[in-house]
Chains A and B, each alone.
Chain A
Amino acid sequence: MKHTVFIAAGCFLITTVAAGQGIPPLTHERYTLDNGLTVILHEDHSTPIVAVNVWYRVGSGDEQPGRTGFAHLFEHVMFMGSEHVPVGAFDQWLEAAGANNNGSTNRDRTNYFEWMPANALSLALWLEADRMGWLLPTMDQAKLDVQRDVVKNERRQSYDNVPYGRAFETILAAVYPPGHPYSWPTIGSMTDLSAASLEDVKGFFRTYYAPNNATLAIAGDFNRDSVKVWVQRYFAEIPRGPVMPPRPTVGEVTIPKDTFLVMEDKVQLPRLYYSWPSAKAFHADDASLDLLSYVLAGDKNSRLYKRLVYEMQVAQDVSAFQISGRLDGMFGVVVTPKPGQSPTRMAQLVNEEIRKLSEGGISPRELARAQNTYRAQFLDQLASVNGKADQLNFYDYFSGTPDYVQQDAARYAAVTAADVQRVARDYLGKPKVVLTVVPEGKVDLMVKELGNVRIP
């Protein structure tokens, strides 16, 4: 971990102060119950509200081929009541207390969260405990079936009935080798969702939903002594789970040569997607790749936006991103040509800009724009108790240190212009997946070999 290096070098304090300017520390207490549940408490009495946030260390990356989408489907079932909470009561009781709640699943983890007036904290904790410890006694086929239909509609609404909505499903399957935990989308396939059984639900719960596989973060306006009593009372008797199956590990992902794909969709305009395997979360190059994405397409002055959208006006939109997880990362560039413009032309222009950046580097001003924007975002993440609670769990998951925010900000502050140039050359110079989404019947618009990036 990077901050360890800083300490060893004796410049930890200096680095943190410079980088973490204006970013207050997330003071907290972290402890573990006998059953293995990690508890993280952060007091903030500025507003009489509180947030509860539970992370389970399981996500779609832990699924098996044939059961894709299951971690997320399971997340939905977690809201259908537990032994002491009748169907529907989870939401009814929380709403009657002025609380809102939600949950989300990604490739690496599943989280559940409530935010509410300060007086409703014990209710949220009791509800989280009941579904952590007593989900199965009242689990039945009907609960699974209705949420299976809901999730299928989520897939339709968020992916299938959205223009270009299935592009990333296609890309993931091409970037990652078969069986790689990131090779399928979290939402899963319709076929696999249909196949999920009640036995799958029970097995998944028994395997992954144990206190020793979870962290509970509480942020906001509470009395620490009271909260500790509640946590002990509600959660302590939940038995420790069996030894977790080892989480998947993967080798380095490489694409031997550029892969060109085409997908027809109900769209007016084609869209071009470049995707490269990149660095995983908190890898030494992760922050540099984030800043590279900003320099390429983060604002009006960014390389691709300025040239394609602002000056030439040949593209309607352009975006770039580094998405990094526990196992791996992916870097992407996406361009939608204006009517009458071809994806091939977009590819040539993107290649040119990547080549220029890789050869000529970036200016101090470009770096400053990217770094300052990121620094402001770190500050904004601390504005709400909901954001802070999730962040405590996020950093605990990735670094083992819940208040890693200042060190995280320091990663971005430490990136140099040379780092950005280097990662552009190292990562974007390698073979990639090139997907062209085209209007139905326009397969001839597909980008082929012509668009190769060649970097010396």
Chain B
Amino acid sequence: MSAFRRHLTGTAVLALAAACTRAPAPEGTPAPATPIQVVVDTPRAPAFDRTKPPTLAPLGQLTLPPVTRRELDNGLELLVVEHHELPVVDMILVVKTGGEGDPAAKPGVATLTASMLDEGAGRRTALDIADQEAFLGVQVGSGSGWDQSMVTLHAPVAVLDSAMALFADVALRPTFPTADLERLRKERLTELLQLKDRAPQIADRAYAAILYGERHPYGRPLTGTEASTRAITRADVRRFYQTYFRPNNATLIVVGDVTDADVEQRARALFGTWERGTIPATQVTEPPAALATAIYLIDKPGAPQSSVRIGSIGVPRSTEDYFSILVMNTILGGAFTSRLNNNLRETHGYTYGAGSGFSMRRAAGPFTARAEVVGAKSDSSLIEFMKELNAIREAVPDAELEKAKRYLQLQLPGEFETTGDIASQLVPVVVHGLPLDYYNSYVQRIESVTVADVQRVAQRYIDPSKFAVVVVGDRKAIEAGLRALNLGELSVRDITGQPVRR
């Protein structure tokens, strides 16, 4: 059994070989570092003073691997990065439509479509696909977010021919067998039943439903409701696939131990006959106006911790305030030493980790401050959350700003280490239409953020008078304390975020 200092993830089954995750990170990506001018610590410097940390040499300019861009005749964009460290390849086929394209009455179609891709493709059955994957020692994956759907491949180059043939079948020739669809439907319904056991997931779903309401796609669960899961038909899945999985709505990212020319040839052979389509624009309705700050309490009898989600509707990825928000959130709750984590964890010990983030999508996603706090300190935790969410609206000290900027800038080299890392970094570039040299100006744009910028975006996007405060916990133990805070009206909700009828 492992236990980690930082957040630990894993189900009970995985608890024996758990993995660690970091303090919550903001969305978006930091960038290449410009040299930071400091004194060089020459290894042979004669006088060594142990009481002072070493000063660091400047980091050389990071050269990001060049990206080659091509477009096939059918409109498929191809991005290739050669990376020859290990004999492996990562591919991501990005389809630029995700859950945002779900029919209003049927949330979950996009994610179900993605899940169905490897349940039958070309002449292969679900079992054939899984057999080939394991036999080749490759990983084929698929999934949908709000803005995009993806099909991924990770493979040793030694088996690239077979691996790409499999990948192309899954991406281009899914058969959506009825029996497999029904199996996945049953699995999803069971997952929805099991959701009742998991307070953090209940909190996430209810928080989105309360902020956006059911008329906005972001208020509906990406993986569907019980009603939509029962209602989705094979025709819905096929229609989603046929409509959005088109070369002129897609980009193939290839990173690894291959040559650009070889990839192009393979892509033409495997994806060149994929037929164009007319892509309907997805319509995202205006989100509802924010209400006065209120507490929404969801009962989880006997829960030793309370799941806290606080915030409001944030910004789209296209916001001109992107970099200022990134820096501001890093200070507030986007790093281990951020104010929220430092206060709620390192000072008070109320939680294993607290953080915040802006989920930036094509339309405005939520801003969320979050933690799992010990039940007995639910009210005290909300006091500290509100303290920090108010304080971030004041001017931040220079040193704190500098630390956040360096952290964002200097992490960049590590974000481009493996083939999988590099491919992942290109996904937001593709989905949000950023320039291919986006990361080259990144450091400079972080650098240009000022104390005034941070304060301006904090005041604009973090408004403690208009928060939804969702708490999932043991109602009989925590309700009185939450009411006594007088943060706003308190209403009791069910696990979907709807009012509980008395």
Residues of A in contact with B (beta carbons under 8 Å apart):
21-22, 24, 46-49, 60, 69, 72, 75-76, 79, 84-85, 88, 91-93, 95-100, 102-107, 115-120, 122-123, 126-127, 130, 145-154, 156-165, 167-168, 172, 185-187, 225-226, 229-230, 233-234, 266-269, 298-301, 306, 310, 313, 316, 319, 321, 323, 332, 334, 338-339, 365, 368-370, 372-373, 375-376, 379-380, 382-385
Instruction: Give the contact stretch, choosing among B57-65, B227-235, B291-299, B385-393.
Output: B57-65
- Give the distance in Å from the alpha carbon of A163 to the alpha carbon of B302 in the complex: 12
**B222 sits at the interface (CB 8 A):** no
B56 at the interface (CB under 8 A from A): yes
21 interchain pairs, CB-CB under 8 A: A24-B86, A47-B417, A49-B417, A92-B337, A96-B406, A104-B2, A106-B3, A119-B56, A120-B410, A149-B374, A150-B346, A153-B352, A157-B372, A161-B303, A187-B3, A267-B197, A310-B183, A321-B16, A368-B135, A372-B137, A383-B419
Is B199 touching A161 in the complex (CB atoms < 8 A)? Answer: yes
- Could you tell me the distance between the alpha carbons of A97 and B187 in the complex, rounded to whole angstroms? 45
Given contacts A100-B411, A299-B134, contact A154 B337 (CB under 8 A): no
Cβ-based interface call for B196 (8 A): yes
A222 to B138 CA separation, bound complex (whole angstroms): 32
- Complex CA distance for A46 and B419, rounded to whole angstroms: 12
Contact of B137 with A299 in the complex, beta carbons under 8 Å: no
The docked-state distance in angstroms from the alpha carbon of A163 to that of B10 is 11
| B3 and A369 contacting across the interface, CB-CB below 8 Å | no
Task: Give which listed residue, A118, A185, A233, A375, contacts B59 with CB less than 8 A.
Answer: A118
A153 to B126 CA separation, bound complex (whole angstroms): 42
B186 near A313 (CB under 8 angstroms)? yes
Shortest distance in angstroms between B404's beta carbon and chain A's nearest beta carbon?
8
Interface stretch of the complex, out of B40-48, B66-74, B311-319 = B40-48
Contact A161 B305 (CB under 8 A): yes
Known: A163-B198, A383-B86. A153 touches B53 (CB 8 A): no
Q: A48-B60, A168-B1, A376-B139 are in contact. List 18 more A-B contacts (CB 8 A).
A: A47-B414, A48-B59, A79-B5, A84-B50, A91-B336, A95-B335, A105-B3, A122-B41, A146-B349, A152-B349, A157-B7, A161-B305, A168-B12, A268-B194, A300-B126, A321-B17, A339-B190, A385-B417
Whether the Cβ atoms of A96 and B402 lie closer than 8 Å is yes
Within 8 A of A (CB), among B331-380: 335-337, 342, 345-352, 372-374
A160 — which chain B residues lie within 8 A by C-beta? 304-305
In the complex the two chains form, is B346's CB within 8 Å of A146's CB? yes
Which residues in A have their C-beta under 8 angstroms from that of B126? 300, 310
Complex contact B85–A161 (CB within 8 A): no
A161, B351: Cα distance in complex, Å: 13
Q: A123-B56, A168-B16 are in contact. Are A116 and B414 (CB under 8 A)?
A: yes
Expressed in whole angstroms, the minimum distance between the Cβ of A194 and any Cβ of chain B is 13
Encode B184-202 as 1/0 by CB contact (under 8 A) with A. Answer: 0011001101101111000
Residues of B within 8 A of A117 (CB): 33, 59, 410-411, 413-414
Which of B130-170 touch A at CB < 8 Å? 130-131, 133-139, 154, 156, 158
Across the interface, name the chain B residue whose C-beta is closest to A323: B16
Interface centre among B53, B62, B85 (most CB of A within 10 A): B53
Give the complex CA separation of A29 and B342 in angstroms.
39
Mark B residues whose CB is within 8 Å of A. 1-8, 10-13, 15-18, 20, 22, 33, 41, 43-44, 48, 50-54, 56-60, 62, 85-88, 126-127, 130-131, 133-139, 154, 156, 158, 183, 186-187, 190-191, 193-194, 196-199, 301-305, 335-337, 342, 345-352, 372-374, 402-403, 406-407, 409-414, 416-420
Considering the complex, give the chain A residue whose CB is closest to the CB of B372. A157
Are A152 and B131 neighbours in the complex by a CB distance under 8 Å?
no
User: Assuming the A-B contacts A47-B417, A375-B137, are A126 and B53 also in contact, with contact meaning beta carbons closer than 8 angstroms in the complex?
Assistant: yes
Residues of B contacting A150 in the complex (Cβ-Cβ under 8 angstroms): 345-346, 349, 351-352
Chain A residues contacting B373 (CB-CB under 8 Å) are: 153
Chain B residues closer than 8 Å to A148, beta-carbon distance: 349
Q: A100-B22, A157-B352 are in contact. Are A369 and B1 (CB under 8 A)?
A: no
Q: Which residues of A contact B44 (CB under 8 A)?
A: 229
Q: How far is the CA of A127 from the CA of B198 in the complex (A)?
A: 38
A21 vs B194: C-alpha distance in the bound complex, in angstroms?
43
Given contact pairs A98-B407, A102-B22, A300-B127, A156 touches B197 in the complex (Cβ within 8 A) = no
A103: which B residues are within 8 A, CB to CB?
A: 4-5
Distance of A92 from chain B, by nearest CB (Å): 5
Whether the Cβ atoms of A266 and B350 lie closer than 8 Å is no
With A95-B335, A146-B347: A22-B87 Cβ-Cβ less than 8 Å = yes
- A124 → B minimal CB distance (Å): 10
3 closest cross-chain pairs (CB), A and B: A98-B410, A149-B349, A376-B137
Report the separation of the CA atoms of residues A187 and B1 in the bound assembly, to the nearest whole angstrom.
8
Nearest residue, chain A, Cβ from B5: A103
What residues of chain B lie closer than 8 Å to A382, measured between beta carbons? 86
Q: How far is B372's CA from A88's CA once the two chains are assembled, in angstroms? A: 22
Chain A residues near B58 (CB-CB < 8 A): 119
A299-B5 contact in complex given A146-B347, A338-B186, C-beta closer than 8 Å: no
Contact of B43 among A158, A229, A365, A369 (CB under 8 A): A229
A88 touches B410 (CB 8 A): no
**Chain A residue with Cβ nearest B49:** A84
Q: Which residue of A lies closest to B131 (CB)?
A: A301
**Contact call A102/B5, Cβ cutoff below 8 A:** yes
- In the assembly, what is the distance between CA of A310 and CA of B187, in Å? 10
Q: Are B17 and A323 in contact (CB under 8 A)?
A: yes
Pick the contact of A98: B22, B33, B194, B351 (CB < 8 A): B33
Q: Are B8 and A158 in contact (CB under 8 A)?
A: yes
Given the complex, which residues of A lie within 8 Å of B57, measured CB to CB?
Answer: 119
Q: Which residues of A contact B420 (CB under 8 A)?
A: 383
Q: What CA separation (Å) do A229 and B6 show in the bound complex?
A: 31
A122 touches B135 (CB 8 A): no
Inter-chain contact A161/B156, CB cutoff 8 Å:
no
CA distance A229 to B45 in the complex (A): 10
**Residues of B contacting A96 in the complex (Cβ-Cβ under 8 angstroms):** 402-403, 406-407
In whole angstroms, what is the CA distance A306 to B134 when docked? 14
* Minimum CB distance partner of B193 in chain A: A268
B414:A115 contact, CB within 8 angstroms? yes
Residues B2 and A226 in contact, CB atoms below 8 Å apart = no
Q: Which of A22, A97, A158, A319 contacts B410 (CB 8 A)?
A: A97
Q: In this complex, what residue of B is CB-closest to A104?
A: B4
| Complex: A120 Cα to B414 Cα, angstroms | 12
Complex-state Cα separation, A339 to B193, whole angstroms = 9
Chain A residue at minimum C-beta to C-beta distance from B194: A268
CB distance from B215 to the nearest CB of A (A): 30
Are B15 and A369 in contact, with the CB atoms below 8 A?
Answer: no
How far is A276 from B350 in the complex, measured between Cα atoms in Å?
Answer: 38
Q: Which residue of A lies closest to B62 (CB)?
A: A48
Please determine whether A301 and B130 come into contact, CB atoms closer than 8 angstroms.
yes
The answer to whether A95 touches B417, judged by C-beta atoms less than 8 angstroms apart, is: no
With A156-B304, A319-B13, A323-B17 in contact, do A105 and B56 touch (Cβ < 8 Å)? no
Q: Residue on B with the closest CB to A93? A: B53
Q: Chain B residues with Cβ under 8 A from A72's Cβ? A: 3
Tell whether, in the assembled complex, residue B305 and residue A153 are in contact, meaning their CB atoms are under 8 Å apart: yes
Q: Given that A117-B59, A119-B59, A310-B183 are known contacts, is A383 also in contact with B88, CB under 8 Å in the complex?
A: yes
**Is B134 a contact partner of A373 (Cβ separation < 8 A)?**
yes
Min CB gap B137→A, angstroms: 3
A452 to chain B, nearest CB (A): 23
Partner of B134, one of A49, A145, A163, A369: A369
- A268 touching B337 in the complex, CB below 8 Å, given contacts A123-B54, A157-B305, A383-B86: no
| Residues of chain B with a CB closer than 8 A to A48's CB | 59-60, 62, 413
Closest to B335 in A: A95
Instruction: Given the known inter-chain contacts A95-B336, A127-B53, please indicate yes or no for A301 contacting B190, CB distance below 8 A.
Output: no
Residue of chain A at shortest CB distance from B132: A369
Residues of B within 8 A of A157 (CB): 7-8, 305, 351-352, 372
A-chain residues with CB within 8 Å of residue B419 when the two chains form the complex: 383
The interface residues of chain B lying within 8 Å CB-to-CB of A321 are 13, 16-17
Neighbouring A residues of B349 by C-beta, 8 Å = 145-150, 152-153
